[in-house]
Amino acid sequence: MVLTIMIAVLFCAKTKLLFDTDRAFSYLMTSILAAILANMISVYLMALWDNQLMSERLTLWSGRIYLLCMVCVAFFALNYAKVAIVGRKKKNRTAVMANVSFLLLFFLAGFFLHIQIGKKDEILYFYGGYVRLAYGMLMLYLLLCILLVLKYRKHIERRYFISVITFTLMILITVVLVLVFSRVEFLSFAMALALLFMFLEMENPDDYVDSDSGALNEHAFRKWGQRLFQNKPGMRLLIISIPEADYIKKKLGVSDFNNLFAEIAQQTQKLHIGKVFRLDSGEFVCVVKAVEKEEALFPAVSAIIHGLSERYAGISPESVRYGMIPSLENYADMESFLQDFRFYLKHLCTLSGDVLHILDEYVLDEKNEEDFVVLSLKQAILNDEIMVYYQPIYATAKQRFTTAEALIRIKDLNGKFMSPELFIPIAERRGYILTLGHAVFEKVCRFIKEQSLEERGFSYIEINLSTVQCMQKGLASELVSIMKEYSISPGFINLEITETAAIKSEKILMKNMQRLLQLGVSFSLDDYGSGYSNLDYVVRMPFYLVKLDKLLVWDSFKKEKTRVLLETSVEMLKHMQIKIVAEGVETMEQAVYLENIGVDYLQGYYFSKPICEEEFIKIVDNNTRIKLQS
């Protein structure tokens, strides 16, 4: 009894009743507590009866109740085994009723079947038909338990498998001992021991807790989700997302930041709307029963954030996004749900704060679009349908085209050109960018060789490198071997890198750059004036050329301050002896202005859109002087 109570206390202190197995364990534990208590009472009553201080009828009834409790223990052990098996259908109502009526029948059998108190070597015990029936049922349940876990051993976690098998075997063996020696107290002790063993085999709840906030963590979410999707009760997810968490962390410091998140977790838990998880990416997810109404739910959650924003600088109600996934019906399992979940989160970040957004399936349009792009990319790669277009670049000093930028072109499954701005990031995420990058570089080299571009008045071709390519250690070797294959002089190749690439992989990139620079390859810094524009990189990295972003060019015609920025940048870069390209030149006015302030090269629709190989060759052949007039 003491042992079982200790286990009960420990269990209550640690568990969060996260899993069905926890609940099944608590039933089993309660039934064992009841059995031991009934055992103690019946033994006590038997002793009184022996001294003629207790009526026989009452004593026999205490025996019956004890036997019923024993059968219940075996029943709940079987229940535990069932719950521990993943992937089995949740038992339906009729099955539950059948099981419970079976127990009831057993109880009623107590009125009709014979039970007696016997005495052997001064030890009192119960015997008779009812006792035999009880032990029969006990053994039956335990054997079923063993058969079940053996049959489904592939669907059960090792720890559950071990604990169920040991639990059942310990009790089975003890039952045999009890039947031989008629010492009932063996059984109580065996049950307590077996329960202890089972308890120790249970999972450590710390593995499931997010240390910052004290909420359940992503591991718990994933694991718990597996079971959720089996049972499919009407569940919805409430997502609380704070996109600027990094900024808040900086502002508050780590310890206050953790306090803030712990408070969000605690206060949300206190609402008792469901389990609260904190994901690795920072969002909170509450799993809410479908019946909970948003009208009551959202104001409560929002009030928590409003309260906290008064006490913690850095967090404001508007900076928090709320989203509700109204139904999980369409998902077969956690895996397929998690794939979509990423898109729900991404979409949520783009929406406004302090409002509850219902994240319907329309959100997944973006995912479907991405899947379509991936299919199109796969097909293009498979059928070697990757194309390269060339956009000629005008040199102001020579008043004609001297270079060109190579730009990738891919058609989708419907035969329409996809925008690289759409598919390049997807290719980067889904692992196709290295294949694309390789194909583009090879196609450009083959084109240069086939058309003898080096001998036709062009200085070099600019080729874009993706951030992911820049992070590859073998990048330089790969490019060198392609250039060798087509005998291209490295001086005819200029590689365009964005600042993001430089930031993300400075060390590896520098190594690649150095090797290629030695051979004569030159480098451009692409998209100058967009994003961060950390001038540091212009200074630190050996760029031959800087390409002014088209937005900078366009804005400088709209805003005086941008014009100042552009002109100062040009002046600065000229002092550094770095060549300058302006992108997005669409009008003569722009072209003339940029030439006047000293930009070396002009690229844009005013001169030519990116064009296919044949058309580009025509331009190369008729590369006459173009005078810019105003």
Give contact residues for Ca ion (rule: CB under 5 A). 464, 496, 526-527
**Contacts of ligand C2E in 375-394 (CB under 6 A):** 391
121 contact, one of Ca ion, ligand C2E, none, CB 5-8 Å limit per kind: none
β partners of residue 216: 209, 277
Chain centroid offset of residue 590 CA: 47
- Partner from ligand C2E, Ca ion, none contacting 604, C-beta within 5 to 8 A by type: ligand C2E
Contact status: 578 vs ligand C2E (CB under 6 A): no
Return the residue of 283, 527, 595, 600 that touches ligand C2E, per CB under 6 A.
527
Q: Is 243 a binder of ligand C2E (CB under 6 A)?
A: no
Q: Assess 283 for contact with ligand C2E (CB under 6 A).
A: no
Quick check: 599 binds ligand C2E (CB under 6 A)?
no
Minimum CB–partner distance for residue 604 and Ca ion (Å): 11
CA distance linking residue 459 with residue 478, whole number of Å: 23
Q: Is 210 or 462 the residue whose CB approaches Ca ion more closely?
A: 462
Tell whether residue 604 is a contact of ligand C2E (CB under 6 A): yes
Q: Does 499 bind ligand C2E (CB under 6 A)?
A: no
Quote the least distance from Cβ 157 to ligand C2E, whole Å: 45
120 pairs with which residues across the strands? 123
Q: Tell me the closest approach of the beta carbon of residue 606 to ligand C2E, in angstroms.
A: 7
Position 420 contacts ligand C2E (CB under 6 A):
yes
Candidate list 371, 586, 613, 615; residue touching ligand C2E; CB under 6 A: 586
What are 426's two structure tokens?
A: 């997807």
Choose the one of Ca ion, ligand C2E, none that binds residue 256, judging by a C-beta under 5 to 8 angstroms depending on kind.
Answer: none
Q: What's 265-313 look like in SS3? A: HHHHHHCCCEEEEECCCCCEEEEEECCCCHHHHHHHHHHHHHHHHHHCC
Nearest distance in Å: CB 555, Ca ion = 15
Q: 115 or 440, CB closer to ligand C2E? A: 440
- CB distance 35 to 69 below 8 Å: yes
Cβ distance to Ca ion smaller for residue 44 or 557: 557
* Single residue of 464, 472, 512, 556 touching ligand C2E by CB under 6 A: 464
User: What pairs with residue 406 in β-bridges?
Assistant: 390, 463
445 scored as a contact of ligand C2E (CB under 6 A) = no
Task: Indicate the helix (H) or strand (E) that contains 548.
Answer: strand 545-548
Is residue 595 within 8 A of residue 601, CB to CB? The reply is: no
Q: How far is the CB of 609 from ligand C2E (least distance, A)?
A: 7
Q: What is the 3-state secondary structure of 329-348? A: CCCCCHHHHHHHHHHHHHHH
605 touches ligand C2E (CB under 6 A)? yes
187, 248, 393, 408: which one binds ligand C2E (CB under 6 A): 408
C-alpha distances (whole Å) from 533 to each of 508, 536, 552, 575 are 21, 8, 11, 18
Task: Kindly give the residue spans of alpha helices, DSSP state H, lying in 383-522.
Answer: 420-430, 433-450, 467-470, 475-485, 499-504, 506-519
State how far the alpha carbon of 200 is from the alpha carbons of 1, 250, 594, in Å: 18, 41, 75
Rounded Cα–Cα distance for residues 616 and 446 (Å): 15
Q: Which is nearer to ligand C2E, 437 or 529 (CB)?
A: 437
Q: Does 421 bind ligand C2E (CB under 6 A)?
A: yes
Q: How far is CA 241 from CA 280, 362, 471, in A?
A: 12, 19, 30
Residue 396 as a binder of ligand C2E (CB under 6 A): the answer is no
Alpha carbon distance 2, 140 (integer Å): 28
* Residue with token string 């169920």: 164
The residue from 285, 424, 591, 602 that contacts ligand C2E (CB under 6 A) is 424
Give min distance, CB of 584 to ligand C2E, in A: 4
Work out how close the CB of 319 gets to ligand C2E at its nearest, in angstroms, rounded to a whole number.
Answer: 31
Closer of 334 and 404 to ligand C2E (Cβ): 404
Q: Say if residues 540 and 512 touch (Cβ distance below 8 Å).
A: no
d(CA 257, CA 251): 9
Number of residues that bind ligand C2E (CB under 6 A): 24
Q: Residue 369's Cα: distance from chain center in Å?
A: 20
CB closer to ligand C2E, 188 vs 391? 391
User: What tokens does 185 get?
Assistant: 């107290």
Structure tokens at 62: 């205490």
Tell me the closest approach of the beta carbon of residue 596 to ligand C2E, in angstroms. 19
> Footprint of ligand C2E on this chain (CB under 6 A)?
391, 407-408, 419-421, 424, 437, 440, 464-466, 496, 526-527, 550, 583-586, 603-605, 610
